């Protein structure tokens, strides 16, 4: 395995372990999940070509879990890119996911997004 792939695999595993260790917090309700998806789809209509609704909700949950664990917004963006899969979301769409997650799933962190 090339060093870069090994490094990336290690980071993904570390991120998954940190999420498991800190507790992901309460799962969003069906209503929260739908509000989150409505927000994402209205601001990034092409995102359905990259991720399913359940994948987007999982990304939103990971965003909130990382913020609860003390991640900065930059660390959050970097880790979310690693956790999101082999085909990266366009940066603007990733920003939409992060801001929608904060607005709907963990609004106590809204001050971090300015």
pLDDT, residue 40, reads 98
Q: Which residues, at least 6 apart from 16, have a Cβ–Cβ distance to it below 8 Å?
A: 83
Tell whether the model's pLDDT for residue 7 goes beyond 60: no
Tell whether the model's pLDDT for residue 64 goes beyond 90: yes
Q: Which two tokens stand for residue 92?
A: 């603007």
pLDDT, residue 88, reads 78
* pTM over 0.75, yes/no: no
Domain that holds residue 16: 3-113
Q: Map tokens 């509000």 to a residue.
A: 35
Mean pLDDT for all residues in the chain: 78
Tell whether the model's pLDDT for residue 97 goes beyond 60: yes
Q: What is the domain count for the chain?
A: 1
């Amino acid at each position: 395995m090339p060093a870069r792939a090994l490094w990336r695999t290690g980071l993904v595993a570390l991120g998954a372990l940190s999420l498991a260790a800190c507790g992901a917090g309460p799962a969003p309700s069906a209503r929260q999940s739908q509000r989150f998806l409505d927000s994402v789809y209205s601001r990034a209509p092409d995102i359905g070509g990259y991720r399913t609704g359940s994948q987007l909700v999982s990304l939103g949950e990971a965003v909130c879990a990382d913020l609860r664990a003390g991640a900065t917004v930059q660390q959050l963006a970097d880790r979310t890119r690693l956790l999101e899969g082999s085909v990266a979301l366009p940066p603007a769409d990733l920003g939409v996911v992060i801001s929608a997650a904060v607005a709907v799933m963990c609004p106590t962190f809204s001050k971090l997004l300015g």
